[in-house]
């Protein structure tokens, strides 16, 4: 049993004076706004260039390390565990299994989303276990998603694809 004074009460959160939007507009808070123009164009390199170009064709490609035998997806030019260059390129399927997921209701600016977004990590069929892709699920109700659910990529039409991860619109349940 705890000793000492027990009737200490504490509010569940500190109550202060919140800053209102109009306080900022009226200049009651001294601040300075700036919007830096920071732009980059990251060259994709050997592995990811090939990966993106294959996406354009509606295919998923991985790389293989003959030392540990892993089929690595997304592809890289080296095996990070054996620390050696890769040995081969292999296609993997555009089907897989949901490894983990989150039904996300809030946007990056902390506002409610009109419809929840189901973000999932999908272990891709043909790649080594737990190697896969983080993407979104579609054509499924949030309450029906489960870990272990089989899914398949839904691609954009060929003429709309641009060699980007968004060439896959979403993954939908199969079977």
The single residue among 16, 18, 32, 115 that binds other proteins, judged by CB under 8 A, is: 32
Closer Cβ to other proteins, 9 or 30, answer by number = 30
- Contact status: 3 vs other proteins (CB under 8 A): no
- Cβ pair 173, 140 in contact under 8 A: yes
Cis amide leading into 124 (omega within 30): no
What is the distance between the alpha carbons of residues 152 and 172, in angstroms, rounded to a whole number? 5
The site that binds other proteins (CB under 8 A) totals a number of residues, namely 22
Q: Name which of 47 and 71 has its Cβ closer to other proteins.
A: 47
Q: Which residues of 82-109 are buried (b: 16+ CB within 10 A; e: fewer)?
A: eeeebeeeeebebbbbbbebeeeeeeee
Which of 20, 46, 91, 162 touches other proteins (CB under 8 A)?
Answer: 46
Say how many residues make up the chain: 175
Binding mask 69-108 for other proteins (x = CB under 8 A): -------xxx-xxxx-------------------------
Binding site for other proteins (CB under 8 A): 32, 34, 36-48, 76-78, 80-83
């Amino acid at each position: 049993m705890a000793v000492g004074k027990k009737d200490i009460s504490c509010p569940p959160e500190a109550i202060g004076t919140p800053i209102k939007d109009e306080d900022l507009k009226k200049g009651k808070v001294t601040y300075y706004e700036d919007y830096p123009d920071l732009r980059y164009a990251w060259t994709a390199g050997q592995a990811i260039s090939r990966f993106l170009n294959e996406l354009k064709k509606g295919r998923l490609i991985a790389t293989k390390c003959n030392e540990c035998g892993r089929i690595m997806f997304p592809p890289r030019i080296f095996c990070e565990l054996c620390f050696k260059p890769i040995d081969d390129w292999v296609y993997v399927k555009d089907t897989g299994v949901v490894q983990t997921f989150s039904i996300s209701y809030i946007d990056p600016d902390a506002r409610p989303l009109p419809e929840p977004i189901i973000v999932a990590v999908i272990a891709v069929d043909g790649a080594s276990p737990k190697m896969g892709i983080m993407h979104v699920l579609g054509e499924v109700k949030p309450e029906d998603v489960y870990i272990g659910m089989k899914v398949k990529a839904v691609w954009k039409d060929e003429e709309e694809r641009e060699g980007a991860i968004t060439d896959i619109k979403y993954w939908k349940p199969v079977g």
